[in-house]
Structure 1
Amino acid sequence: MTRQVAAIEVVTHPQVTQSSLTKSQLRRIYTMRQLRWSDNHAITVFVLPSQHELHQRFAKERLQIFPYQLNRIWHKLTYSGLGVAPTIVKSEQELIQAVTNTPGAIGYIGEATLVLLRQSNNDSRSQEPLHMDEESKVSSQGVVNVVKIKD
């Protein structure tokens, strides 16, 4: 029996205007070679711990690089003083929170987590009216933007 593997979704802060990235752009962002969005806002990268199954799948499937190679790149940047490594968060929930609260942020979550996020966002919207500042925080997809990855 084969187990169906859920998709990995790339998410950004609601104010990030880019709705799609090429695989090459995504790889440059996660190897810390692209530090700004097209509108010149700084990119803040969030990742799960390297031993997390979703991180390993993200590195292999989306970035087409082994997780240990990614770690090596980040360590080299950090120890040489030429750059900084991404911010590591403990869980997908923490990653969503960090991306939501950090302008210019990017991260990744599993498809199931995105579905739950959308459901909880829709439930909270239907239960109580949003105030103007809350409304501006919520994009058409919810509290984060989902970015399409093109070849």
Structure 2
Amino acid sequence: MKTSKYLKLIIGLLVLSLSAAVSASDAEVIVNADSQVLHLSPAQLRRIFTMRQRQWPNGTLIKVFVLPNQNPLHQHFCKSQLNMFPYQLERLWNKLVYSGLSERPVEVYDQQQMLQVIAQTPGAIGYIGKGMDIQDVGVLLITISEDDSNE
């Protein structure tokens, strides 16, 4: 009897962990439609999210938006796109803020809010889960590849 309770608990935990993994599917980088940027190299993306690149090639200031550290999509984005853990990124932001060299990215509550603020903010960049509808929202999907023609 006790074994079946433990088995149900383990199965329940596995289902929860799988659903978290599914919700953290591939992240796609988006920008405000007026930014005129369609491609970034991984190095450029990392410089932007580590607050080292502050302007787009056309001179527009970059405004970075992120999800909370605990969000599975944020964790996936940090690991897969930036090659760092969320806590490492957080430490870097804190160091820049406390030294007066930069501001923190703006944290948004969820992906829907991410879409809204990026569409409304010139120079904005952020990320959403793959497959989210961005038609007629005012954002562009960015391709990330090693082609450094924009650098």
Question: Normalising by the residue count of structure 1, what TM-score does the alignment of the two structures yield?
Answer: 0.78
- Kept in 1, the 8 Å contact 2:25–2:76? The answer is no
Q: C-alpha deviations, 1:5-55, integer Å up to 9, x for none?
A: 732110000101110000000000000000000111100000000110000
Q: 1:8-87 maps to which residues of 2 (within 5 A)?
A: 8-87=27-106
Question: Normalising by the residue count of structure 2, what TM-score does the alignment of the two structures yield?
Answer: 0.78
Whether 1:150 and 2:145 are equivalent positions in the alignment is yes
Q: Distance in 1 between the 2:32 and 2:130 partners?
A: 17
Q: Distance in 1 between the 2:67 and 2:101 partners?
A: 22
Fraction of identical pairs, as percent: 43
For this pair of structures, how many residues does the alignment match?
126
Aligned position for 1:93: 112
Q: Which residue type is aligned with residue 58 of structure 2? A: D
Please list every run of 5 or more consecutive structure 1 residues that lacks an aligned counterpart in the other structure.
122-141
Q: Distance in 1 between the 2:64 and 2:26 partners?
A: 20
> Of 85, 90, 105, which residue of structure 1 is paired with 2:124?
105
Aligned position for 2:9: none
Structure 1 runs of 4+ off > 6 angstroms? 2-5
Q: Distance in 2 between the 1:87 and 1:77 partners?
A: 14
Q: Distance in 1 between the 2:95 and 2:117 partners?
A: 25
Q: Which residue type is aligned with residue 78 of structure 1? A: V
Q: Distance in 2 between the 1:80 and 1:106 partners?
A: 24
SS of alignment partner, residue 65 of structure 2: strand
Aligned position for 2:3: none
Aligned position for 2:6: none
SS of alignment partner, residue 142 of structure 2: strand
